[in-house]
Protein backbone atom coordinates (compact mmCIF):
# COMPACT_ATOMS: atom_id res chain seq x y z
CA UNK A 1 0.00 0.00 0.00
CA UNK A 2 1.18 3.48 -0.85
CA UNK A 3 2.23 5.04 2.43
CA UNK A 4 3.95 8.22 1.34
CA UNK A 5 3.00 11.24 3.38
CA UNK A 6 2.99 14.98 2.81
CA UNK A 7 5.52 17.02 4.82
CA UNK A 8 5.04 20.77 5.15
CA UNK A 9 7.67 23.00 6.75
CA UNK A 10 6.38 26.20 8.33
CA UNK A 11 9.51 28.26 8.95
CA UNK A 12 7.48 31.14 10.42
CA UNK A 13 9.45 34.38 10.98
CA UNK A 14 12.81 32.62 11.40
CA UNK A 15 16.32 32.89 9.94
CA UNK A 16 18.23 35.83 8.47
CA UNK A 17 19.22 36.08 4.79
CA UNK A 18 22.64 34.65 5.60
CA UNK A 19 21.13 31.75 7.54
CA UNK A 20 18.72 31.10 4.66
CA UNK A 21 21.64 30.86 2.27
CA UNK A 22 23.25 28.17 4.50
CA UNK A 23 19.89 26.43 4.85
CA UNK A 24 19.41 26.22 1.09
CA UNK A 25 22.89 24.77 0.59
CA UNK A 26 21.89 21.85 2.81
CA UNK A 27 18.33 21.37 1.56
CA UNK A 28 18.33 21.95 -2.20
CA UNK A 29 18.82 18.78 -4.21
CA UNK A 30 18.24 16.60 -1.14
CA UNK A 31 14.43 16.56 -1.03
CA UNK A 32 13.39 15.28 -4.46
CA UNK A 33 9.65 15.19 -3.83
CA UNK A 34 6.61 17.26 -4.65
CA UNK A 35 5.04 15.86 -1.46
CA UNK A 36 7.26 18.26 0.48
CA UNK A 37 6.24 21.90 0.81
CA UNK A 38 8.51 24.51 2.35
CA UNK A 39 6.90 27.74 3.58
CA UNK A 40 9.66 30.23 4.29
CA UNK A 41 9.18 33.79 5.48
CA UNK A 42 7.72 35.36 2.34
CA UNK A 43 10.59 37.74 1.49
CA UNK A 44 12.83 34.69 0.95
CA UNK A 45 10.46 32.85 -1.38
CA UNK A 46 12.31 33.64 -4.64
CA UNK A 47 15.36 31.80 -3.27
CA UNK A 48 13.26 28.65 -2.75
CA UNK A 49 11.46 28.47 -6.07
CA UNK A 50 12.23 25.95 -8.83
CA UNK A 51 13.92 23.47 -6.51
CA UNK A 52 13.16 19.82 -5.79
CA UNK A 53 10.15 20.55 -3.53
CA UNK A 54 7.09 22.81 -3.58
CA UNK A 55 6.88 26.25 -2.01
CA UNK A 56 4.04 27.57 0.09
CA UNK A 57 2.99 30.74 1.85
CA UNK A 58 2.27 30.95 5.57
CA UNK A 59 -0.78 33.13 4.98
CA UNK A 60 -2.61 34.80 2.10
CA UNK A 61 -5.23 37.53 1.86
CA UNK A 62 -8.88 37.42 0.75
CA UNK A 63 -8.69 39.81 -2.23
CA UNK A 64 -6.92 39.58 -5.58
CA UNK A 65 -5.22 42.98 -5.42
CA UNK A 66 -5.62 46.49 -4.06
CA UNK A 67 -4.72 48.84 -1.23
CA UNK A 68 -3.96 46.26 1.46
CA UNK A 69 -0.53 47.21 2.72
CA UNK A 70 1.58 44.29 3.79
CA UNK A 71 -0.64 41.57 2.39
CA UNK A 72 -0.04 38.98 -0.35
CA UNK A 73 -2.88 37.72 -2.54
CA UNK A 74 -3.35 34.14 -3.73
CA UNK A 75 -3.37 35.49 -7.29
CA UNK A 76 0.10 36.99 -6.75
CA UNK A 77 1.25 33.76 -5.14
CA UNK A 78 0.03 31.67 -8.07
CA UNK A 79 1.72 34.05 -10.51
CA UNK A 80 5.03 33.27 -8.77
CA UNK A 81 4.58 29.51 -9.09
CA UNK A 82 3.55 29.01 -5.47
CA UNK A 83 1.34 25.97 -5.06
CA UNK A 84 0.18 26.04 -1.47
CA UNK A 85 -0.96 28.41 1.26
CA UNK A 86 -1.44 27.86 4.96
CA UNK A 87 -4.62 29.50 6.31
CA UNK A 88 -5.85 29.89 9.86
CA UNK A 89 -2.67 28.91 11.67
CA UNK A 90 -3.20 29.21 15.42
CA UNK A 91 -0.65 32.03 15.57
CA UNK A 92 -2.70 33.98 13.03
CA UNK A 93 -5.84 33.30 15.06
CA UNK A 94 -4.08 34.27 18.31
CA UNK A 95 -1.86 37.25 17.43
CA UNK A 96 -3.80 38.70 14.48
CA UNK A 97 -7.25 37.95 15.80
CA UNK A 98 -8.27 35.96 12.73
CA UNK A 99 -11.74 34.52 13.10
CA UNK A 100 -13.46 31.72 11.18
CA UNK A 101 -15.36 34.14 8.92
CA UNK A 102 -12.17 35.82 7.66
CA UNK A 103 -10.41 32.46 7.44
CA UNK A 104 -13.30 31.14 5.33
CA UNK A 105 -12.98 34.05 2.89
CA UNK A 106 -9.23 33.50 2.63
CA UNK A 107 -9.78 29.80 1.97
CA UNK A 108 -12.25 30.52 -0.83
CA UNK A 109 -10.04 33.09 -2.54
CA UNK A 110 -7.02 30.78 -2.41
CA UNK A 111 -9.00 27.92 -3.95
CA UNK A 112 -10.35 30.29 -6.61
CA UNK A 113 -6.74 30.95 -7.61
CA UNK A 114 -6.11 27.20 -7.65
CA UNK A 115 -3.82 27.04 -4.63
CA UNK A 116 -3.89 24.04 -2.32
CA UNK A 117 -5.05 25.29 1.07
CA UNK A 118 -3.77 23.87 4.35
CA UNK A 119 -6.42 24.88 6.86
CA UNK A 120 -5.15 24.65 10.45
CA UNK A 121 -7.46 23.65 13.26
CA UNK A 122 -6.82 22.71 16.88
CA UNK A 123 -7.80 23.17 20.48
CA UNK A 124 -6.10 24.99 23.36
CA UNK A 125 -4.94 23.19 26.51
CA UNK A 126 -7.89 24.60 28.39
CA UNK A 127 -10.38 23.40 25.78
CA UNK A 128 -8.74 19.97 25.88
CA UNK A 129 -8.97 19.79 29.65
CA UNK A 130 -12.63 20.72 29.46
CA UNK A 131 -13.16 17.87 26.93
CA UNK A 132 -14.20 20.39 24.30
CA UNK A 133 -11.78 19.31 21.55
CA UNK A 134 -14.40 17.89 19.17
CA UNK A 135 -16.70 20.86 19.69
CA UNK A 136 -13.89 23.31 18.89
CA UNK A 137 -12.82 21.36 15.81
CA UNK A 138 -16.40 21.16 14.59
CA UNK A 139 -16.77 24.93 14.87
CA UNK A 140 -13.47 25.59 13.10
CA UNK A 141 -14.28 23.15 10.29
CA UNK A 142 -17.83 24.46 9.78
CA UNK A 143 -16.62 28.06 9.93
CA UNK A 144 -13.51 27.64 7.80
CA UNK A 145 -15.11 25.53 5.07
CA UNK A 146 -18.53 27.16 4.96
CA UNK A 147 -20.01 27.39 1.47
CA UNK A 148 -17.38 25.32 -0.32
CA UNK A 149 -18.64 23.32 -3.29
CA UNK A 150 -17.78 19.64 -3.25
CA UNK A 151 -15.21 19.93 -6.06
CA UNK A 152 -13.36 22.66 -4.11
CA UNK A 153 -12.44 20.07 -1.48
CA UNK A 154 -9.88 18.61 -3.87
CA UNK A 155 -7.80 21.70 -2.99
CA UNK A 156 -8.19 21.40 0.78
CA UNK A 157 -5.87 19.76 3.28
CA UNK A 158 -6.67 20.01 6.98
CA UNK A 159 -3.91 20.24 9.59
CA UNK A 160 -4.83 19.12 13.07
CA UNK A 161 -2.56 21.13 15.35
CA UNK A 162 -3.39 21.03 19.05
CA UNK A 163 -2.24 24.45 20.22
CA UNK A 164 -0.78 23.04 23.43
CA UNK A 165 1.53 20.86 21.32
CA UNK A 166 2.92 23.65 19.13
CA UNK A 167 6.52 24.45 20.03
CA UNK A 168 6.19 22.83 23.47
CA UNK A 169 7.67 19.35 22.97
CA UNK A 170 4.36 17.88 24.13
CA UNK A 171 2.66 15.52 21.70
CA UNK A 172 -0.64 13.63 22.00
CA UNK A 173 -0.41 9.84 21.92
CA UNK A 174 -0.79 8.10 18.58
CA UNK A 175 -4.13 6.77 19.78
CA UNK A 176 -5.37 10.27 20.59
CA UNK A 177 -4.27 11.61 17.21
CA UNK A 178 -5.85 8.64 15.40
CA UNK A 179 -9.14 9.22 17.19
CA UNK A 180 -9.17 12.97 16.54
CA UNK A 181 -8.27 12.59 12.87
CA UNK A 182 -11.01 9.95 12.60
CA UNK A 183 -13.46 12.45 14.04
CA UNK A 184 -12.35 15.16 11.59
CA UNK A 185 -12.68 12.86 8.58
CA UNK A 186 -16.08 11.58 9.62
CA UNK A 187 -17.30 15.14 10.16
CA UNK A 188 -16.20 16.25 6.69
CA UNK A 189 -17.89 13.17 5.22
CA UNK A 190 -21.08 13.80 7.16
CA UNK A 191 -21.37 17.50 6.41
CA UNK A 192 -19.79 17.87 2.99
CA UNK A 193 -20.10 14.33 1.65
CA UNK A 194 -16.37 14.40 0.88
CA UNK A 195 -14.65 11.14 1.63
CA UNK A 196 -10.93 11.48 1.32
CA UNK A 197 -9.90 14.74 2.95
CA UNK A 198 -6.17 14.59 3.80
CA UNK A 199 -5.48 15.45 7.44
CA UNK A 200 -1.97 16.33 8.63
CA UNK A 201 -0.77 16.30 12.21
CA UNK A 202 1.25 19.27 13.51
CA UNK A 203 2.73 20.06 16.91
CA UNK A 204 6.31 19.35 18.05
CA UNK A 205 7.08 16.90 15.24
CA UNK A 206 10.83 16.24 15.32
CA UNK A 207 13.44 13.90 13.87
CA UNK A 208 13.17 11.99 17.17
CA UNK A 209 9.43 11.26 17.22
CA UNK A 210 8.70 11.04 13.48
CA UNK A 211 9.12 7.25 13.28
CA UNK A 212 6.50 6.76 15.96
CA UNK A 213 4.11 9.42 14.59
CA UNK A 214 4.46 7.94 11.12
CA UNK A 215 2.71 4.80 12.40
CA UNK A 216 -0.58 6.67 12.83
CA UNK A 217 -2.85 4.86 10.38
CA UNK A 218 -5.07 7.73 9.22
CA UNK A 219 -2.57 10.63 9.12
CA UNK A 220 -1.77 12.03 5.65
CA UNK A 221 1.41 13.78 6.72
CA UNK A 222 2.93 16.35 9.03
CA UNK A 223 3.11 20.10 9.47
CA UNK A 224 6.48 20.88 10.97
CA UNK A 225 7.39 24.21 12.59
CA UNK A 226 10.63 24.45 14.59
CA UNK A 227 12.29 21.36 13.11
CA UNK A 228 11.76 22.63 9.56
CA UNK A 229 14.30 25.40 10.18
CA UNK A 230 17.02 22.82 10.94
CA UNK A 231 18.02 21.16 7.65
CA UNK A 232 19.33 17.88 9.07
CA UNK A 233 16.29 17.38 11.29
CA UNK A 234 13.90 18.33 8.50
CA UNK A 235 15.59 16.01 5.99
CA UNK A 236 15.35 13.16 8.50
CA UNK A 237 11.60 13.80 8.91
CA UNK A 238 11.22 13.78 5.11
CA UNK A 239 13.22 10.58 4.82
CA UNK A 240 10.97 8.76 7.28
CA UNK A 241 7.61 10.10 6.11
CA UNK A 242 7.99 10.69 2.38
CA UNK A 243 10.74 8.54 0.92
C1 LIG B 1 3.37 24.89 13.79
O2 LIG B 1 3.45 25.99 14.30
O3 LIG B 1 2.64 24.72 12.80
C4 LIG B 1 4.12 23.80 14.37
C5 LIG B 1 3.73 22.59 14.10
O6 LIG B 1 5.18 24.13 15.16
P7 LIG B 1 6.18 23.14 15.93
O8 LIG B 1 6.52 22.00 14.99
O9 LIG B 1 7.38 23.95 16.26
O10 LIG B 1 5.46 22.66 17.13
**Is any ligand 1 atom within 6 A of the Cβ of residue 56?**
no
Which of 70, 67, 74, 59 is CA-nearest to residue 10?
Answer: 59
Say which CATH topology domain 6-241 has: TIM Barrel (3.20.20)
* More reliable by pLDDT, 220 or 196: 220
pLDDT for the residue numbered 243: 84
> Cα separation of 174 and 171, whole Å?
9
Domain boundaries defined on the chain: 6-241
pLDDT for the residue numbered 1: 42
* 10 C-alpha to ligand 1 centroid (Å): 7
Active-site annotation holds for 89: yes
pTM above 0.85, yes or no: yes
Which residue among 203, 219, 236 has the greatest number of ligand 1 atoms within 8 angstroms of its CB, and so is best to mutate?
A: 203
> Cα separation of 241 and 207, whole Å?
10
What pLDDT digit, counting tens, does each position of 220-241 carry? 999 999 999 999 999 999 999 9
For residue 80, count other CB atoms closer than 10 A to its CB.
13
Active-site annotation holds for 170: no
For residue 155, count other CB atoms closer than 10 A to its CB.
17
Shortest-distance atom of ligand 1 to CA 224: 8
Evaluate if residue 3 carries a pLDDT over 80.
no
What pLDDT digit, counting tens, does each position of 95-150 carry? 999 999 999 999 999 999 999 999 999 999 999 999 999 999 999 999 999 999 99
Amino acid sequence: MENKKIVVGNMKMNLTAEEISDYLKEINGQVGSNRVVICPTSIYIPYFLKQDYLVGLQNTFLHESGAYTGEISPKQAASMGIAVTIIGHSERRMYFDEKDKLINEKVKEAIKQNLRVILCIGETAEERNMMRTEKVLRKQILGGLRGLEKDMFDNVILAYEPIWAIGTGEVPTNEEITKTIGYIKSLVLEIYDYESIPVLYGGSVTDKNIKELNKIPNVSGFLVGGASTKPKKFLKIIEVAVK
